[in-house]
Amino acid sequence: MMMSRMSGSTRILSTDITIVGIDPGSRLLGLAAIRVHGGKPEALDGTLLKVRGESPGQKLQSIYDTVGAYLETWNPHQGALEDLFSKPNVHTTVVLARVSGIILLRFSQADLPLTLYPPARVKSAITGYGNASKDQIRYVVVKTLGLPEDIPEDVSDAYAVALSHAFLHRELS
């Protein structure tokens, strides 16, 4: 599995490619599939996963199963995951690290490259400003992909991660 941290230019991929973007969460997980065709991004699907399970293990199993099914459904060429950033609550950081680990494992098992993007880099790629608000991100995502304005925040974030990959990743692996 190829895993890389972002770097590169702001041109969009010109090759036809399907990208899955993921906004990790312990209660809600945003998943989005886009296709880039001739340099133009197109939304294929946005899904909000409400994580099920009583125990931490059951919740991680739910994420594992859902991400695996999503990869099988959309058959992406690459994936993009919003990376962790430091949170004041250590417990929240640990839980999100577990979720991200499950996602990394699922992509590795599918032999798919996954790129991690810090939140500020996603914001910068989408709006040109690394401290953009959620509303600013959603506005650009909705306009770029022709989506309804009332898409869930986590789905909008997943689309933003996938679009960031398309805007910033220079070459296919």
Catalytically active residues are: 23, 82, 154
Residue 23 makes CB contacts below 8 A (sequence gap 6+) with 29, 30, 82, 154, 155, 157, 158, 160, 161
Distance CA(5)–CA(80), nearest Å, equals 10
| Both structure tokens of 164 | 């960031």
What values do phi and psi take at 73, rounded to 5? Answer: -70, -45
Amino acid at the residue 2? M
Distance CA(83)–CA(2), nearest Å, equals 15
